[in-house]
Amino acid sequence: MKRFLVGAVVLVTACTAKQQEPTPSHRAVLDAYITAWNRHDSLAVDTQLAKGGVHEDVPFSIRATAPDGVHAFMRDLLQSSPDYIWKVTNVVEGDNSLAAEWAWTSTYTGDSPNGPVTALKISGRGASIVELKNGKIKRFSNYYDEASWFKKAVEN
């Protein structure tokens, strides 16, 4: 009888235990986010952002809040750089954050530090600081020297 009670308690406990989804690694969240941007898939971007998550582009003084602000930012970016490719080159992970270095290439049309340009091939490097909460991006902040991207293009 004692074995039966112990078995019943274990069975009831196992059946009532809350099933939790494993939290994806920080790198997996980052990779999914960058892949969604490269596919121009704002709905997939949404799945990686926490409610009220923020995507900042510091050089342009952009602070976009999910989902509408981030969608508008992506739309604007596609107008000036329809073929951008964003590649992560290095990642350092912390407990609830990560830092990523990346490279960017694009054909850019719009205002530049050198005046208006049309279909100018640009490339550059930058870094992002990413804060995560419960496997989602709470804040994604990009830092780079925009002027250097255009200087390289002019020299080529």
Task: Give me the CATH number covering residue 123.
Answer: 3.10.450.50
Q: What is the gyration radius of the CA atoms in the chain, in angstroms?
A: 21
- Helix or strand holding residue 140 (H, E): strand 136-144
Determine the structural domain holding residue 78 and report its residue range.
Answer: 24-155
Q: Domain count for the chain, please give it.
A: 1
- Alpha carbon distance 37, 88 (integer Å): 12
In a domain, 6, yes or no: no
In a domain, 46, yes or no: yes
Q: pLDDT band at 6, cuts 50/70/90?
A: very low
Q: What is the mean pLDDT of residues 11-23?
A: 49
pLDDT of 58 strictly over 90 = yes
In a domain, 12, yes or no: no
Q: pLDDT band at 156, cuts 50/70/90?
A: low
In a domain, 114, yes or no: yes
In a domain, 17, yes or no: no
Helix, strand, coil shares of the chain, percent, nearest 5, are: 40, 40, 20
pLDDT of 13 strictly over 60 = no
pTM score, whole prediction: 0.81
Our CA dihedral for 43, 45, 46, 47, rounded to 10 degrees, sits at 100
pLDDT of 47 strictly over 60 = yes
Q: What is the mean pLDDT of residues 48-63?
A: 95
pLDDT of 9 strictly over 60 = no
In a domain, 8, yes or no: no
